[in-house]
Amino acid sequence: MNQSSTKFTPATKRIAFIHATWHEKIVLNCLDGFKQTLISLGYDVSLIDVIPVPGAFEIPLQAKLLAKSGQYAAIAGSGLVVDGGIYRHDFVAQTVCNALMQVQLDTEVPVVTAVLTPHHFHEHDEHKDYFSRHFIKKGIELANACDQAIQLTEKAKRTLYV
């Protein structure tokens, strides 16, 4: 197979962005940073499919279904898991991250995550503003990780199948 016919071109790669709708106004800041960064890296923003789910716990199943579809070069997940006093939020976040790792290992589709668990989160403007800004930064980091994961995966596939 000719190397030039398998050259990595980010503009043609479809990416799924799954986000929890809990604290959606904050979490969607991650999507903003994610999109802006991917555009600057040469990706076509119209190829980013945005999939909302009820909460972070629902992200892994959707990630697995999307990965198995064969339509995506990578999948990103974002959510804010806070201590609601009813359940162990750190357990939920750890479970989500472990499940997302398993999805990428099972499907060989890169899965990157910005599911965050702050030590303390309160429903007041100071925390909302801080985490809104923080999620923009996390979106930028998530996009860079996504791009690098796609490139590494594409390179590995070319090496293995050439």
Query: Which of 90, 68, 72 lies closest to 81, judged by CA?
Result: 90
pLDDT digits (tens, 9 = 90+) for 129-156: 766 787 899 999 999 999 999 999 999 9
Which range of residues forms the domain containing residue 117?
14-161
Residue 33 located in a structural domain:
yes
Residue 38 located in a structural domain:
yes
Count how many domains the chain has: 1
Distance separating alpha carbons of residues 10 and 37, to the nearest angstrom: 12
Q: How confident is the model at residue 5 (pLDDT cuts 50, 70, 90)?
A: very low
Residue 4 located in a structural domain:
no
The reply to whether 14 belongs to the active site is no
Catalytic residue (choose from 14, 88, 133, 158)? 88
pLDDT digits (tens, 9 = 90+) for 109-134: 999 999 877 656 656 576 677 667 87
